[in-house]
C-alpha cells in the first residue's frame, strides 16, 4: 500500500506542468518581443541549486508555523506551497535557467518526501484524479506548449519571408 508517494509525485509534476503552461501563455507576448534582444547566458546550475534551497528553507520555516496534524491537508498550506513554487520559478529565471527544470523538479520531490511522506491516502484530500483525467490534464499543457513553439517558429519564418 505505497501508492501515496506516487500520487504526490504525479501531483507535483501536474502542478509544475500546469503552472508552466499558464506562465508561458501569460508571458508569451512579452517574451516574444524581448527574447531576440535579451543577451543569452547559460544556466548557472550551482547557483540555481543554492537559490532553490533558499526557497526550500523559507518553505520549511512557513511549514513550522502550521500544526503538524494539518500537514496532509492542502487547504492549510496551499498558499505557502504556491509561494514556494513561485520562488523556484523566479530564481530559475534569475539565473537564466528554464523553468521547470530537472534540478528544481528533484528538489520539489525531495521537499514532498520530507513533508508529505507520512500522509496516508485517507488523509490526503487532494487525491489522485482517475488516470483518464490525469492524462488529459497532463496532455493539455503539453499540447499548449507545443502549439506555442509551433507558433513562434511559424511567426519567425513568416517574418523572414516578409523581410
Ligand atoms: C501584446 O503586445 C501588443 C503589442 O506589443 C499589445 O498591444 C498587447 O496589449 C499585448 N497583450 C498582452 C496580453 O500583453
Ligand atoms: C555561478 O554562480 C556562482 C555562485 O554565484 C559563481 O561563483 C560562478 O562564477 C557562476 N558561474 C558562471 C558560469 O557564471
Ligand atoms: C482540511 O482543512 C479544511 C479547513 O480547515 C477542512 O474543512 C477539511 O475538512 C480538512 N480536511 C481533512 C481531510 O482533514
Ligand atoms: C513520519 O513518521 C516518522 C515515524 O513515525 C517520524 O519519525 C517522522 O518525523 C515523520 N515525518 C513527518 C514529516 O511527519
* 69-86 tens-digit pLDDT: 899 999 999 999 999 999
Retrieve residue 25's grid coordinates.
Answer: 501563455
120 lines ligand 3 (CB under 6 A): no
Ramachandran region, residue 96 (left: φ > 0; alpha: ψ -120 to 50; beta: rest): left
Distance in Å from the first CA to the final CA of the chain = 62
Distance 129 CA to ligand 4 centre (A): 26
User: At 129, is the pLDDT very low, low, confident or very high (cuts 50, 70, 90)?
Assistant: low
Nearest atom in ligand 3 to the alpha carbon of residue 73 is 1
C-beta separation of 67 from 77 below 8 A: no
125 lines ligand 3 (CB under 6 A): yes
- Could you tell me which CATH number the domain at 45-117 has? 1.10.150.510
Residue 16 has what pLDDT? 59
Nearest atom in ligand 4 to the alpha carbon of residue 116 is 13
Q: Where does residue 111 rank: exposed (0-12), middle (13-18), buried (19+ CB within 10 A)?
A: buried
Residue-range domain boundaries for the chain: 45-117
Ligand in closest contact with the CA of 47: 2
Task: Tell me which range, 35-39, 58-62, 139-143, is most confidently predicted by mean pLDDT.
Answer: 58-62
Threshold 0.75, pTM exceeds: no
Amino acid at each position: 500500500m505505497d501508492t501515496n508517494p506516487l500520487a504526490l509525485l504525479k501531483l507535483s509534476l501536474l502542478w509544475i506542468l500546469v503552472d508552466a503552461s499558464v506562465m508561458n501563455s501569460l508571458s508569451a507576448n512579452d517574451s516574444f518581443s524581448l527574447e531576440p534582444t535579451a543577451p543569452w547566458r547559460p544556466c548557472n546550475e550551482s547557483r540555481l541549486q543554492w537559490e532553490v534551497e533558499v526557497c526550500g528553507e523559507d518553505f520549511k520555516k512557513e511549514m513550522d508555523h502550521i500544526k503538524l496534524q494539518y500537514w496532509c491537508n492542502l487547504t492549510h498550506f496551499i498558499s505557502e506551497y504556491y509561494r514556494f513554487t513561485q520562488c523556484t520559478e523566479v530564481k530559475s529565471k534569475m539565473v537564466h535557467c528554464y523553468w521547470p527544470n530537472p534540478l528544481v523538479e528533484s528538489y520539489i520531490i525531495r521537499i514532498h518526501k520530507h513533508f508529505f511522506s507520512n500522509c496516508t491516502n485517507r488523509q490526503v484530500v487532494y487525491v489522485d484524479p482517475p488516470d483518464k483525467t490525469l492524462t488529459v490534464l497532463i496532455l493539455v499543457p503539453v499540447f499548449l506548449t507545443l502549439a506555442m513553439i509551433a507558433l513562434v517558429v511559424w511567426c519567425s519564418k513568416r517574418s523572414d519571408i516578409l523581410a
